[in-house]
Amino acid sequence: MKDVIETPPQKALRPASHVMRLAQLGSMFPTRLSFLRSLMRRLKAENAQVSRPVWNICANGFGHAVYSVELGGHTYSLVAVSTDIPADQRSDRVIATAWDAAFCLFDGVPGPDDIARICKNAPKQEAGQFSEKELVLSRANKSVRLFNAVVAALQSGTVPDEAMIRDIGYLMRTTAVYGNGKFGIADRALIQSRPCLGGPFAAEMLTVWLIRGFTHDLVEHVGQGTLPRHVKVHLGIGNSTGLGMAPFLVSHPTLLNNWMMARETALARVRAIETLDEAQIERIWQLILRAQDHIAQWRVPDPAHQSRIEELDSDFAEFCLFYLDPRKLREPFALDAVMMAAQTHSADLEELVAALLIEPFEDLVDGLTDCMVDPFGSFIDPRESCGQLWVKIRRDWGWAQKIDFDSHSETAQFWYVSEEKLEPRLGLRHSEDGADLESPLDIARRVQDLARDLPFDGTSLAEFLRAHPQHRFAAERIQNLARNPYAEIHDNLIGEGCLPIDMLRCKLSFFGASKFDPKSDRWTRITLCQGAPLFNDYAEADDWWLPAFEA
């Protein structure tokens, strides 16, 4: 007889009607399921060694370098090109045409001709010419204030300003990390079956980690000194992300479901733990103290968001003292009680507690990362009857049916793709042109339109769609949501109340981002790899959730 794999017990999953609201998604924190975390575990498991076969960088920090690492039986190389640009050309906006550094993740070890070609084209980014040997394309700008301060300290033999290092947390920030065939680089299909790079955005996360190491080497090279280890560990890589990332969650509904399902299943398994041992209770409190330090060090210029952080700081401290008291944690099903209590508080606190509870239980959680890909995508079953589709609409789409799309406020915005940059944008429907080029992110409205034309009878969906082909997209989304309960955002994505920043935070939390620093409701800065392992040093490869700087 074949061995039977026992599924760990679990409590009920949080319902999509609660989890999939924009406000909830916009409060998410990274977890041990985040893509950077799982990549670090793979690097540690293979003891992957990073080498630097090329370092052609002048004393002022300009030139090129190559880093190579073997992972999953394949060698990947980061080609980094550092450029001297005028200060007035340095911009995080997508319309920029010059950056302090440009990068390509190369499939294999590049030869001299490859390096010369990449050094010529990478600084041009989308205007350059690339091949399927380039897996990821990226660019970055310096955090000039911190970079120059660290260089000055190293050159003078003094300790860099640790308060500045704590508050900024990165030497460079990327403004794009492109994969999957963008601008002529390799399609994801080329690597999706390879060990270690088959997971979502694994190649992009490997690129980000290698870029972070390059920034350490670059500042030490220019400063002619060595940073203390605890400073290096805290210096992650920044990122500036805008609207271009937001529509991904809507256009990949099954993938979104699988990410959320893994996260919610992890939480449900943890909530089913009947009794915690003393080591687990101690571990939870270590993480609580670290999270409190992390939040205390999370400071942003935006007054509204800073007020939100301060409220979370206060609420979390009070919540932990009352609900996570060690005596209460010794009671049966203590973590389930903690999560039920968290659901009566703010979305920020609830999602922080959810991430906290997932963190200490790798044996229950880590295997779920294998379920976070989407090998099949969406499809439509034309054999279903219109009556059966109606049942799904009534059961799963009540939230969409309640929206009044005759109201200007509920149709205030429209999504489109800019002709110049091929990037998603958001327009104002009632005051700007372009709505005729609208992208299909108005999911709720399309479901409503289908429902108006759909008969409640035994007519096959195939027959109905022959007469109404404009409803095929909505029918597919309805069937997909019936199979994948977390596939849809339960809000109106074209209403004036839609804040793209919420979608950005959801996706970035799965990357492993922290210290969200919103610059508007349409773009944010974040920090990646803060606390992550350094090159060839995996001692803490799986213990850097919400890191805090320690002087």
pLDDT tens string 455-466: 999 999 999 999
Which positions of the chain have pLDDT values less than 70? Answer: 1-5, 93-95, 420-421
Residue 1: what pLDDT?
Answer: 41
Give dist(CA 521, CA 243) in Å, integer. 9
Residue 522: what pLDDT?
Answer: 86
Confirm if 309 and 295 have CB atoms less than 8 A apart.
yes
pTM for this structure?
A: 0.95
Structural tokens at position 404 = 């009044």
Give dist(CA 506, CA 513) in Å, integer. 10
Give dist(CA 231, CA 213) in Å, integer. 13
Report helix, strand or coil for 489: coil
Residue 93: what pLDDT?
Answer: 67
Task: Phi first, then psi: give them for residue 326, nearest 5 degrees.
Answer: -55, -30
Give one DSSP letter per residue of 195-253, joined into a string. Answer: TTTSSTTHHHHHHHHHHHHHHHHHHHHHHTS---HHHHHH-EEEEEE-GGGTTHHHH-H
Residue 91: what pLDDT?
Answer: 75
Residue 424: what pLDDT?
Answer: 86
Residue with tokens 């080497």: 217
Residue 378: what pLDDT?
Answer: 80
Residue 145: what pLDDT?
Answer: 94
Structural tokens at position 509 = 């939390």
Going by the DSSP 8-state scheme, the letter that residue 157 receives in this structure is T
- Strand 514-518 and strand 524-528: the pairing is antiparallel
